[in-house]
Amino acid sequence: MIAKHVPMRSQGKSDFAGLVNYITAHQSKEHRLGNVRLNNCEAKTVRDAISEVLATQFANTRAKSDKTYHLIVSFTNGEQLEAHTLAAIEERLCQGLGYGEHQRVSAVHNDTDNQHIHIAINKIHPTRNTIHEPYYPHKKLAEMCEAIEQDFGLQPDNHIPRKRGAESRAMDMERHSGIESLVGWVKRECMDEIKSANSWQAFHQVMQDNGLQLRTRGNGLVIVADGEAIIKASTLGREFSKPKLEARLGPFEATASDSVKPSRQYTHRPVRLKVNTTELYARYQAEQKRAAESKTQALEQARRDKDRQVENAKRKGRGRRAAIKLTGSNKLTKKLLYKQASDALKSDLERIHKRYQEQRQTIYQSNKRQAWADWLKSQALQGDSEALK
């Protein structure tokens, strides 16, 4: 069992409603969503709970940090716990973090090999309107997970994270999408060569041999691959921060760009597995490209249809007004007729725009881009033996 806090790095992007809508959505995946629970809320529905939490958060005008706490609790492969057990574990973790009285919405997900719970917690207390931030939560969570494993008879897991910060997020993304990250590629392909470089010239040579560049950015250093993928050098380890490298190699020395072809370089491809996925990944890319093209064409056609319908509605409205103008009715009657014509046009336009938005939503849904791992799973479920391997 592993419990992990997912921080929102930009306070401006914090969105309790968006988080709850994400964790409670089926996302067109069968059996993705399990039990959904509302805790410490007067509301009986998810929508009402969101409104209640947002009102509580709005009452605190002094807090400048993120007001939402996103906690993920994941269980080892093969463990499928009952709803009452999951609820008890959730309650215990939230109490331990100091959120026992705080409003929260939780949802069980079954769309991966590991059953897990997403918990969206309001960090603002519902009655005191004060914000609570746990002190060193990763240590507290590790201790609670170990105790919960023993009390509930769960399979023991490693609770001491070996990776922190950007490196940890990169590894999480690899596991989620199945696509190799630049951090993972460098560590697997050329880490020993980088560590053995004993001068800036040798360091830059290793970079060039592997299709990488070391550049300054701000007060630090970044590693760039193919002009697109960028990571902080210190993501590879603290010994690769600019101060540590300068202490070992001397003041930083830039290198002139070299057009020598590298012996190998990072590419956006699947994490290497025991089976060859080259052909499968080519199929995946082709399908994603066709889906993108189909979406573009369908959206363009829907827009043209909408514009044509709008023009027809306006033409019809102008015809009505012209007919009213030619009638011999008095001023008051004409005014009423013009009002009816205007309301009819407004109703037609609203109906057209509503239908257009529904069409766009359907197009996006039917041509949604899939992550490599999700595509592999869908192909395996359809009977593709290579994808299943």
- Does the CA dihedral 312-314-320-326 come out positive or negative? negative
The residue-averaged pLDDT of 50-76 equals: 92
Pair (9, 144) in one structural domain:
yes
The answer to whether residue 272 sits within a structural domain is no
Pair (104, 232) in one structural domain:
no
pLDDT of residue 121 exceeding 90: yes
Pair (282, 228) in one structural domain:
no
Cα dihedral 337, 340, 344, 349, rounded to 10, equals 100
Pair (220, 289) in one structural domain:
no
The residue-averaged pLDDT of 333-360 equals: 94
Structure tokens at 348: 């037609």
Q: What are φ and ψ of residue 74, in 5° steps?
A: -120, 145
Q: What are φ and ψ of residue 171, in 5° steps?
A: -65, -40
Count CB neighbours of 202 within 10 A.
Answer: 14
Of the candidates 363, 344, 348, which has an alpha carbon nearest to the alpha carbon of residue 303?
363
Pair (74, 204) in one structural domain:
no
pLDDT of residue 328 exceeding 90: no
Give the pLDDT band of residue 372 (cuts 50, 70, 90).
Answer: confident
Q: How many structural domains compose the chain?
A: 3
Among 34-48, 159-173, 207-221, name the one with the lowest average pLDDT.
159-173
| Cβ atoms of residues 75 and 81 within 8 Å | yes
* Domain range enclosing 295: 278-388
Among 47-56, 177-186, 291-300, name the one with the lowest average pLDDT.
177-186
The pLDDT, as a whole number, for residue 359 is: 94
Among 8-17, 161-170, 201-210, 247-256, name the one with the lowest average pLDDT.
161-170
Pair (40, 63) in one structural domain:
yes
The percent of residues in the chain predicted with pLDDT above 90, rounded, is 44
Task: Give the H/E segment covering residue 121.
Answer: strand 116-122
The answer to whether residue 298 sits within a structural domain is yes
The residue-averaged pLDDT of 94-108 equals: 95
Structure tokens at 93: 């973790």
Pair (204, 66) in one structural domain:
no
| Local structure of 384: helix, strand or coil | coil
Write down which residue in 117, 152, 187 finishes a domain.
152
Exposure of 164 by Cβ count < 10 A (0-12 exposed, 13-18 middle, 19+ buried)?
Answer: exposed
The answer to whether residue 259 sits within a structural domain is no
Task: Report the side by side order of strands in the sheet with 68-74.
Answer: 2-5, 68-74, 116-122, 104-109, 33-39
The residue-averaged pLDDT of 143-150 equals: 92
Distance CA 343, CA 355 (A): 18
Pair (53, 183) in one structural domain:
no
Of the candidates 241, 226, 275, which has an alpha carbon nearest to the alpha carbon of residue 389?
275
Between the ranges 70-79, 230-239, 289-298, 326-335, where is the mean pLDDT highest? 289-298
Between the ranges 96-100, 183-187, 248-252, where is the mean pLDDT highest? 96-100
Pair (240, 291) in one structural domain:
no
The pLDDT, as a whole number, for residue 375 is: 86
The answer to whether residue 324 sits within a structural domain is yes
The answer to whether residue 258 sits within a structural domain is no
Q: What is the pLDDT of residues 268-322, one digit of tens each?
A: 778 776 778 888 888 988 998 999 999 999 999 999 999 999 999 999 999 999 9
Residue with the bigger pLDDT between 7 and 350: it is: 350
Pair (187, 227) in one structural domain:
yes
| Cβ atoms of residues 223 and 217 within 8 Å | no
pTM for the model stands at 0.54
The answer to whether residue 117 sits within a structural domain is yes
Residue with the bigger pLDDT between 52 and 368: it is: 52
**How far are the Cα atoms of 67, 133, 135 from residue 62, in angstroms, in the given order?**
11, 14, 20
Pair (80, 142) in one structural domain:
yes
Write down which residue in 101, 117, 152 finishes a domain.
152
pLDDT of residue 138 exceeding 90: no
The answer to whether residue 159 sits within a structural domain is no
Pair (132, 58) in one structural domain:
yes
